[in-house]
Structure 1
Amino acid sequence: MKTFLIVSAIIILIFLGIRHFFFKIGNHVNLKLSNSYFHHYRKNLIVYSPMGNWFELGYFESNADVPSFQPINESFGKDKNNIFWKGKKQSVDYHTFGIDDSQVIKDKNHVYHLNGKNFDLLEIIDDADPKTYQLLDPSIQDYRRYNWFKDAQFVYYKNKKIQGDPATFKPLNDAIAVDAHFIYVIISYRGVGIEAREVDEVIQKHKMIEGEIHPINETYVQIGNSVVSAFTASEFEIHTFDIIKTTKEIDYWQIIVNNVLINKGILYPEIDGESFEALDRDFSKDKNGVYYSCKKIDDADSSSFIIFSYEYSKDSKNVYFENIILKGANPEEFKSTNEYGVWEDGTNKFKNGKLYHS
């Protein structure tokens, strides 16, 4: 019995010690407004911890005045003198600071955004007018609504001022926007693969053309008898037809206009649009053959064609790397190996479309 009491006392002391040193969060300040602002477990101060998950998401002891502090929303709060974000005091005008229903953060002097260089400091949106700053188009139904804002003079995309007439500017899809005077491309990334970098630019590319505007999908737009896209190295293509009778969406990258394929902004009249079918990855086919990135795979048999990966395929006669016959490869035995990027056919190994010797 004595041993049991000693062990129990030790367990209780260990628990209290752990709680004293590691459990820093007490009760919520106001759970109805925020699940991230707390009173400290021991000290007389305010703690900010996202959703109370201090171990994984962080913990910040604020210098807010405890008696007067109240959350504004999940991450903002105020005391009798200052505004706080993520528990940290912000350099804003206290008496005019506010957050409206469109999530515009402003005071009488500036408009602010949350994606600055410092993760816990509001950053000023350059040149934005707090009196007139608002959503560009509240009718946009998805998350992109909050990418676009305007004031009396300028349009803003992801917190950056861009060219454009705020009275008539309209994003049409992921890639194209227009106003009364010009066509613009929306460039999210430049580069390919691991070289890709986020740029988030909106660039004025062409004078506005006449005709009704019809977004075809998220990357192509029909304006009158022209089709506009933003994929190529020039970051802008406009293809004009005598008349546009039909348009058909294939996927994000490809459409068919008057039975002519457009892939990543480039016309491919040699591919039969009426019988065109997108296959897996960069492969496709029509009544005349099989294609890799719209380049014909010579002699490929579409009836026995099988896709292995982003680069390798086969039919009953050959193995193909992209659109080229992989010489010496046996299609009946061709398969991947445990080595990264290496394939084999029981006799030879291949990597990047060439014989490989490990």
Structure 2
Amino acid sequence: MNLITNHPYISTIIIILILNSIIKKITRAKHSPLVKVSLFIMAIISQACSPFAGPVDKSISDSYYYSKSKRNICYSPMGNWFELGNTKINADVESFKVLGRDFGKDKNHLFFKTHIIDNEVDTATFYVDDDNYICFDKDNVYRALNYLPHDFTQTNQEKKHLWKVAKANPKTFQKIDSDWSKDDKHYFYNYMPIDVDYNSFTILNKSFAKDKNQVYSLKNYELLASTIDPTTTKKINSRYIADNNNIYDFQEYINGEKVDSLTSIPYQNIDNLTILEDKFLLFDNKVMYDGIIIEKADASSFQIIQFPYSRDKNHVFYHEEVIEKADPKTFSVFETSYYSKDKNYVFVYGKLLKGADVATFGPVNKKHSLLYKDKNHTYRGDEIVRDN
């Protein structure tokens, strides 16, 4: 009885769940008629339990709210007070207004989330460009450290909340994409100014950039100068570039290991170079994938089946590896794509699934099954989970 009187909302939910279970058993229905009613009631209860009277300005921010009494301003990320918390901030309610999703101000202070940032910016001229997650005052350009990778936080010796973009002119600063920005005198790579020739600088793709003097490989936060010829260098796709002699590929990490690997692949002629799904390059009767020439691939007959599967007239490939014993003419891929087959064999992850019966192999369920079976076994991946 105490539970019902002291916790009416919880009691209501428990009663609904019990009734729901009873009705399902009686009617043998998949879904009880009380399901929709339950959801409706829970939505009302959730609203009734909310600590907020409403958002300060819903059109700008879903994180600043008036308290239930309207005597305080509260910060709750996306209004998810139940999971992400609800913090009262030291703001004057009457004068408080929202500047951006995570920025606000009153007559006394400027706020980032729950923090006062008066000492970090010029408060009189501060404004927020929420579309690009950057902010400005009359002297500087800023980005909230919360929006930046952990590496920036580690360099934050002064424990500030905003990252000041060095050398940036707030009057001319503009975002180019998620990695690049510029003003009237500098280019910025991940909000760091870079030392390049401004007038001739060109971003080639996600891995390379160049100016009149050099071609640069792009790491996360810095540019590595190379000996590639900038005058003849051109973009091939989002990953590769070429000069008059070679195709180039840069990888900062390979299999999780930091390597800063710049690979050059010589060519004779790339005038008729073909790109398949932005992953495979076909040139000089060669096929290149992930910076590697696939040695046994025949470029003239090469085609993608369903990535990462491909074939030519002689072989079937999984990524860059030949699938041994696979017949290219009869090869096909199952809906759960780590399984495949030809007329003779079943394969998993591009390897022979030993003992599998190709004639009876297929999904346990008709749609989206992770378990497959044949007349002898049931499989999960390359493991037998039970005998049939």
Do residues 147 (structure 1) and 179 (structure 2) align? yes
Question: What residue number does 1:273 align with?
Answer: 299
Question: What residue number does 2:89 align with?
Answer: 62
Question: What residue number does 1:124 align with?
Answer: 163
| 1:264, distance to aligned residue in structure 2 (A) | 0.4
CA distance in 1, matches of 2:166, 2:210: 22
Structure with the bigger RCO (C-alpha within 8 Å, sep 6+) is 1
CA distance in 2, matches of 1:22, 1:121: 35
**TM-score normalised by length of structure 2:** 0.66
| 1:278, distance to aligned residue in structure 2 (A) | 1.1
| 1:95, distance to aligned residue in structure 2 (A) | 3.0
| 1:285, distance to aligned residue in structure 2 (A) | 0.5
Do residues 226 (structure 1) and 246 (structure 2) align? yes
Normalized per residue, the structure richer in helix is: 2
Question: What residue number does 2:174 align with?
Answer: 135
CA distance in 1, matches of 2:83, 2:349: 44
3-state SS, counterpart of residue 329 of structure 2: helix
Question: What residue number does 2:237 align with?
Answer: 217
| 1:129, distance to aligned residue in structure 2 (A) | 4.1
- Kept in 2, the 8 Å contact 1:114–1:122? The answer is yes
- Kept in 2, the 8 Å contact 1:106–1:130? The answer is no
Alignment-mate amino acid for residue 110 of structure 2: I
CA distance in 2, matches of 1:30, 1:323: 54
- Kept in 2, the 8 Å contact 1:211–1:225? The answer is no
| Aligned-CA RMSD value | 4.3
**TM-score normalised by length of structure 1:** 0.70
Q: Which of 229-238 and 239-248 deviates more?
A: 229-238
| 1:276, distance to aligned residue in structure 2 (A) | 0.8
Question: What residue number does 1:141 align with?
Answer: none
| 1:263, distance to aligned residue in structure 2 (A) | 0.3
3-state SS, counterpart of residue 357 of structure 2: coil
3-state SS, counterpart of residue 274 of structure 1: helix
Task: Return the match for 2:224 from 204, 212, 230.
Answer: 204
Question: What residue number does 2:110 align with?
Answer: 83
Identity %: 27
| 1:104, distance to aligned residue in structure 2 (A) | 3.6
3-state SS, counterpart of residue 326 of structure 2: coil
Change (3 A) 1:169 1:57: farther
- Kept in 2, the 8 Å contact 1:281–1:310? The answer is no
Long gaps (5+) in structure 2: 1-7, 13-44, 154-158
Deviations 1:155-179 (A, max 9, x none): 4333455665555443323333333
| 1:265, distance to aligned residue in structure 2 (A) | 0.8
Task: Return the match for 1:26 from 53, 59, 63.
Answer: 53
Matched positions, count: 324
- Kept in 1, the 8 Å contact 2:143–2:165? The answer is no
Question: What residue number does 2:123 align with?
Answer: 94
Long gaps (5+) in structure 1: 1-9, 138-144, 188-199
Alignment-mate amino acid for residue 263 of structure 1: Y
Task: Return the match for 1:248 from 262, 274, 293.
Answer: 274
3-state SS, counterpart of residue 100 of structure 2: coil
3-state SS, counterpart of residue 107 of structure 2: coil
Task: Return the match for 1:112 from 123, 142, 163.
Answer: 142
Do residues 39 (structure 1) and 66 (structure 2) align? yes
CA distance in 1, matches of 2:114, 2:294: 57
| 1:284, distance to aligned residue in structure 2 (A) | 1.0
- Kept in 1, the 8 Å contact 2:371–2:378? The answer is yes
Do residues 293 (structure 1) and 308 (structure 2) align? no
| 1:20, distance to aligned residue in structure 2 (A) | 12
CA distance in 1, matches of 2:309, 2:294: 14
Question: What residue number does 2:210 align with?
Answer: 178
CA distance in 2, matches of 1:243, 1:334: 45
Deviations 1:108-136 (A, max 9, x none): 66543224368x97332464545577236
Change (3 A) 1:353 1:77: closer
Q: Which of 309-318 and 240-249 deviates more?
A: 309-318
3-state SS, counterpart of residue 359 of structure 2: coil
